[in-house]
Amino acid sequence: MKFKVDESACIGCGACTCICDKVFEMSDDGYAVAKDEKVTDKETLDEATEAMEGCPTSAITEQKED
Nearer Cβ to ligand F3S (43/56): 56
- Taking CB under 6 A as the criterion, the residue among 1, 4, 13, 50 binding ligand F3S is 13
- Helix (H) / strand (E) element for 44: namely helix 42-54
Nearer Cβ to ligand F3S (13/43): 13
Residues 6+ apart with CB under 8 A from 42: none
Site string for ligand F3S, 22-51 (x = CB under 6 A): ----------x-------------------
**Regarding beta strands 24-26 and 32-34, do their DSSP bridges make them parallel or antiparallel, or are they unpaired?**
antiparallel
